[in-house]
Structure formats: C-alpha cells, structure tokens
Amino acid sequence: MGNEKPKLRVGLIGTGFMGKTHSFGFAAAERVFDLPFELELHTVADRTEELARAAARGLGFKNATGDWRRLVSEPDIDLVDITAPNAFHHEMALAAIAAGKHVYCEKPLAPRAAEAAEMANAAVSAGVSTQVGFNYLCNPMMALARELIASGELGEIRSYRGIHAEDYMGDADGPFTFRLDPVGGGALADLGSHALATAEFLIGPIERVLGDEVTVINSRPDAKGGRTAVEVDDIGRAFLRFANGATGSIEASWVATGRKMQHDFEIYGSKGALTFSQERFNELHFYVAADAGRVRGFRRIEAGPDHPPYGLFCVAPGHQLGFNDLKAIEIALFLEAIAGQRSEPFGFKSGQRVQELVEAVHTSAVETRWVSTLKHVA
C-alpha cells in the first residue's frame, strides 16, 4: 500500500550531532510509523562540498552541497531541516519559507522572540508547515499526563512545579561558549524553555510570571587566555499564573551538580496528582484521591502499548523507549501535520511562544514585577 504514497523530499542543513540525530529520526520514523509520505533523503548541506559529500554517504542522502542556499532553492526539495548552529536559524528558515518549503528547525528558533515571531508569521503567510524540536513532549507518558488533566481525572488543577536541571555548565573553569552569549543565552533560555513549554503543554496558557535570575559563575575562561564576565543566568526561576487559575513555578539550572536530566514536574489537582522525571521517562506516577484510603498511593505506571505510539516501537510493555525514539515520534507528528492529518504539534508559533515566555521571565526578574504573558498565546 506504500506504493501510492506521495514522496516527500528532505534537505538537511547541518551534519553535526543533531544532523545525525535527525537523519536517524527520519529513518526510524519511516520504519516505525505508517507515514503519510514516502521519504527521500534528497540533499545534505554543510560548510564545504567535501564535508557535505562525506556526510551524505554516512547519513544516507543522495546529494550534497557546500552551499545551503542552493539546497533551499532546489525545486525538488519539499522539507528543509535546519540543524545548523543557532545563529543561522533565522536566516535559513526565512529563506526556506520564502522558497515555499516546509521547515523543521532545532530550538531555539532565534535568540529573540521578535525574530521568532517574524519566522512564525512568514510561515503562516507562505502557508507552509513548520516544527521546532520539542522532543520531550513527544513522550507517550507526557501525552498520558496531558490527557489525564484534560479529561478531568485530576480535577481542578491547583499547582504545578516544573524543573529542568543539568550540570553541564557547572565547572567554573569550563570555557566561555556560545551558550553564554548575552543575546539569547543562559540557563533559562536553554533549559527553562523546556520547563516552560512542558508547563503550557500540560496545564495550558501561562498568564503572568514573576522571575528570578542568578549568575553563579561570574566569569569563565575565554579563548584569549583570560576570563570573560558572564552576563547570563546560570539559574532561572519563575512563579507562574495559568489562565485556568492554577499557579506554579519552574526552575532551570545548568549548574546543578549531579543532575543529568532532571526535567521533572509535579501536578496537584483536586482529585489527583501526577509526578514525572525525565531521568525515568518511561514512568508516570499518578495518585487517585478516590482510591480507598488504606490502599491509596502514587501508582508507578510503566509505558506500554496502552500509551500510543509506544506499541509501534515495542509489542510489550516495560521495554522502554529511548531518547532517539522520541525524535522519531516528533518527526512522524510533523509529517502528519504536513499531510493535513492533524494540526502542527510544535509549529514555529510554539517556538515563538517559548521565547516570549523566556523574555517575560527575564524582564520580570530584572524589574521585580509580575509580567503578563497572555497576549501572545497561540
């Protein structure tokens, strides 16, 4: 039956780790899902033609180019996938949109919300589909959490606590990198963006924030042998007010010694509660207030075929999905959106939204006042 599927030709810009991960994701999505398209890995672009050619062989693309603009203007290509360094996202995405391509872009879309908005609006005008890489949200257990909330099984949501903490910037003698760039850098932008996206994915629109930002390591060794002052936050926090009346908080830290993937949340409703940790992302813990008192307690739910699309990866429960499987799900959802089978799960508007939330927290932290975030809701 695959025969009559339309072709979708992919052009990939960037061949680093994320380029590899995306290529892998396309291949995996095609094998795991019954996609609406037959994929063709058409062209890969890198800084030089030589690099691109080597990458094409390794990643399974047919053609290679040292000029991303040629890829973007190639008439045969339907989807441009941008995994180049963050600084290029804005220019590349706008060019691809202008050429009428669907665009898949790693986060962050752009260092500032205004630029992200420009990209999102361009896509709407051009009528192309877009996607930002929010892989954590593609976890079947995340979908289950959202569903339990939406269906009222938690009752009225009362509070939310979200965290994204890691320790990869915890070494005071680690080098000054692009992540520390005063424009668009910081733990809040890098990790808090995930915590904020998860909060809205599960609970709904955030209305107001009261932020807190801290620079823990005030200078870092630079390439010139000295130390450069750090202007961005190492830890960002915010109190939240949701449109549905719930309140909460998020925290982001990249200096949380010992934490590798603490993308966690706790949600308390009038009828139940949920807790989750990305460190064990094949589990969701669910408290049901209506259970009889003496046998009531958080249920450790293990991912299985009851939690689609888990069953497409493994026939039996308990086998566990991995990080790369989440990427395949992310790609499948995007392709369904391109085919018109569903709305965009994480379109550029979502990417813009997260940047706006990050900026609102930042403004709030600097000015010590509640900052409204409601006008921007998609």
49 belongs to the binding site for a copy of itself (CB under 8 A): no
Which has the closest alpha carbon to 236: 218, 252, 248, 247? Answer: 252
Burial of 304 (0-12, 13-18, 19+ CB in 10 A): middle
Rounded to whole angstroms, the Cα distance separating 189 from 231 reads 13
Query: C-alpha distances in angstroms, 83 versus 12, 30, 59, 80, 118?
Result: 7, 20, 14, 10, 19
Closer residue to a copy of itself (CB): 76 or 279: 279
CA separation for the pair 32, 240 (Å, rounded):
38
94 CB contacts (<8 Å, ≥6 apart)? 118, 119, 122
- Note whether 183 binds a copy of itself by CB under 8 A: no
Binding mask 112-151 for a copy of itself (x = CB under 8 A): --------------------------------x---x---
Q: Which is nearer to a copy of itself, 228 or 247 (CB)?
A: 247
Among 235, 329, 332, 354, binds a copy of itself (CB under 8 A): 235
**Binding pattern for the stretch 202-231 against a copy of itself, x by CB under 8 A and - elsewhere:** --------x-x-x-x---------------
Question: And the tokens for 100?
Answer: 């009428």
By CB under 8 A, residue 6 contacts a copy of itself: no
Nearer to a copy of itself, 99 or 256 (CB): 256
Burial 38-50 (b: 16+ CB within 10 A, else e): ebbbbbbbbeeee
Q: What are phi and psi of 113, to 5 degrees?
A: -60, -35
Q: Minimal distance in Å, beta carbon 252 to a copy of itself?
A: 11
- Which residues, 53 to 112, sit near a copy of itself by CB under 8 A? 54, 57-60
Query: Is residue 32 within the footprint of a copy of itself (CB under 8 A)?
Result: yes
256 binds a copy of itself (CB under 8 A): yes
CB of 199 to a copy of itself, least distance (A): 15
Q: Does 273 bind a copy of itself (CB under 8 A)?
A: yes
State the minimum distance, in angstroms, from the CB of residue 139 to a copy of itself. 10
Residue 344 exposure: Cα atoms within 13 Å on the Cβ side: 22
Closest distance to a copy of itself from the beta carbon of 165 (Å):
8
DSSP helix/strand/coil, 323: helix
Residue where the block lists tokens 């924030």: 209
Site residues (CB under 8 A) for a copy of itself, limited to 324-343: 324-325
**Does the protein bind a copy of itself through residue 179 (CB under 8 A)?**
no
Among positions 48, 257, 343, 363, the unique one binding a copy of itself when judged by CB under 8 A: 257
- Options 64-72, 102-110, 159-167, 333-341: segment touching a copy of itself (CB under 8 A): 159-167
Nearer to a copy of itself, 60 or 152 (CB): 60
> Does residue 199 contact residue 266 with C-beta atoms inside 8 Å?
no
Tell me which of 6, 75, 226, 258 binds a copy of itself, using CB under 8 A: 258
Tell me how far, at minimum, the Cβ of 338 lies from a copy of itself, in Å.
Answer: 20
CA distance 7 to 336: 13
Using the rule CB under 8 A, is 377 a contact of a copy of itself? no
Name residues contacting a copy of itself, limited to 291-320 (CB under 8 A): 291, 293-302, 304, 306-307, 313-320
The edge-to-edge listing of strands for the beta sheet with 38-45 is: 63-65, 38-45, 7-13, 79-82, 102-105, 130-132
Q: Quick one: which of 69, 146, 161, 179 contacts a copy of itself (CB under 8 A)?
A: 161
Distance CA 71, CA 12 (A): 8
**249 contacts a copy of itself (rule: CB under 8 A):** yes
